[in-house]
Amino acid sequence: MTTSEPNTHDRRSFLQASGALGAAGVLGGLAGCSGGGGGSGGSSTVKQKDPSKDDPLTVAVYGGTFKDVLDKQLFEPFRNETGIPVESKAEETSSAALSKLKAASNAGKAPVDLSIIKVTGILKGENVGIWHHWSPDEFDNVSKIADNLKHTDEDGNLVGIGALSWFINLVNNTNQMDSPPTSWKALWDDQYKNQLGLLSLASNSYLLDVTAEVYFDGKSTLQTKDGIKKVLQKLEGIKPQAGMWYKDEAQFEQKLKTGDVPAGMLYNDVTLVMEDKGAPVNSHFVDEGSIIDHGEWCTLNTSPHLDAAKTFIDYASKPEVQDRIAKNLYDPPVVKKKYSDLSDDTYKKIAGPGPQAAITPNYQMYIDRSSWISEQWKQLIIG
């Protein structure tokens, strides 16, 4: 598998025999989870059929506003234009979904046909072989998607295809804060003591990447354990400013709106939607670069609706569809800039200075050192 180059898109064993081993095999079989390091995915052996009203193409997306907007701007037009029955499903689409998808895949089931998955999830899913691989020739519009928003296997087949892209900015309650933070350095500034809401996972806050970028030599610092330890040591300094550590943005949204936690890091799209609904909030693209993250369409290799899934991905990759979603969801389109017709003002609102100026997470680090980073990170925020 090849990992995308960061920020180049122009918009953005030991096995001991034991008595338990026999039982393990039997019980592992019972669970349908013999684990395994994975496979290559590839072509499906599942009997294919056309989606119907009772058995539609099922697509997992983020819930709340995301689902509402996508239902209106993507699913409904797709249904009308192609006649393919499609249903959106608000589901966990991050790493949290993988255990469920893996178990379903082992059992030959597909709880959803395709899903928006973040890069770390794509890599993990690829390692356990649950994704269908597509030939690039199968699509008309996928070539218009920015190259760094696609994941391919060793043979150049597509595993993930850019679906949505988003920024994590610094935000504030405009009633509570006269001098809102606009630099990541504010996280270390004691004038914001106990006032900031911060994402609580290493792999969704990307604060390791931010700290490496702002105070060290960027990604090269994160290549070694010693480098990561130095970054973690520096991150000790942000703890006094953390008024809350949140995993789900809804928790922080409430506190930000009431001013209980008057500032922090939050998704630009979510903040703009809050602003539209009258909340006294503001989103700032950060001086040193906001964090850019994205999700890709991944198809479960046990999906019985591969043809419909392909048609859906191709439809979602159309520049006009991407622009429509971008305008309503406040996320930058995933197609190359030359294909987008967004006005400069709209683009600036949803993408600021653009993806080139943003900090791209070192996704592979979160896979290669998954357990260790998670443990170190928890030690940092709990201790």
Partner 1 sequence: MAAESASAAEGRAGIRSRTKYLVAAYPSVLLGLLFVIPLLMLVVFSFYLNVNGGYFKPGFTFENYVRFFTHRLYRGQLLFTLQISFVTTLITLVLGYPLAYYLSRMNNGLVRRAVMILVVSTLWITYVIRAYVWTVLLAKSGPISKIGVALGILPEPTGWTPGYWALVIGMAYAFLPFMILSLYNSLKNIDGELIEASKNLGAGPLETFRRVTLPLSKNGVISGSALVFILSLGVYVLPKILGSPSQWTIAIIIGDQVNQQQNIPFAAAMSIALMVVVVVILGAVARFTDVSAIGMGGDVQ
List interacting residues with partner 1 (CB under 8 A).
13-18, 20-21, 23-25, 27-28, 30-31, 33-38, 92, 95-96, 98-99, 102, 123-124, 127-128, 200-201, 203, 244-245, 247, 251, 254-255, 258-260, 367-371, 374-375, 378-379, 381-383
What's the min distance (Å) between Cβ of 185 and partner 1?
23
Q: By C-beta, is 49 or 247 nearer to partner 1?
A: 247
Pairing of strands 57-61, 86-90: parallel
Q: By C-beta, is 110 or 201 nearer to partner 1?
A: 201
What's the min distance (Å) between Cβ of 78 and partner 1?
30
For the chain, first and last CA: distance in Å? 37
Q: By C-beta, is 246 or 312 nearer to partner 1?
A: 246
What's the min distance (Å) between Cβ of 127 and partner 1?
4
Q: Give me 184's structure tokens.
A: 């990541």
Residue 282's H or E segment, with its range, is strand 281-284
Q: What are phi and psi of 281, to 5 degrees?
A: -130, 160
Cα distances (Å, whole numbers) of residue 130 to 124, 142, 214, 327: 9, 21, 37, 33
- DSSP code string of 196-231: EEEE--HHHH-HHHHHHHHHS-GGGGGGSHHHHHHH
What's the min distance (Å) between Cβ of 27 and partner 1?
5
Helix (H, G, I), strand (E, B) or coil at 70: helix
Q: Are 91 and 99 in contact, with CB atoms under 8 Å apart?
A: no
What's the min distance (Å) between Cβ of 382 and partner 1?
5
Distance CA(222)–CA(249), nearest Å, equals: 27
The DSSP call for residue 37 is S
What's the min distance (Å) between Cβ of 224 and partner 1?
17
Distance CA(164)–CA(316), nearest Å, equals: 10
Q: By C-beta, is 38 or 237 nearer to partner 1?
A: 38
Q: By C-beta, is 122 or 146 nearer to partner 1?
A: 122
Distance CA(81)–CA(209), nearest Å, equals: 42
Q: By C-beta, is 8 or 194 nearer to partner 1?
A: 194
What's the min distance (Å) between Cβ of 246 and partner 1?
9
AA identity, residue 179: S
Q: By C-beta, is 105 or 141 nearer to partner 1?
A: 105
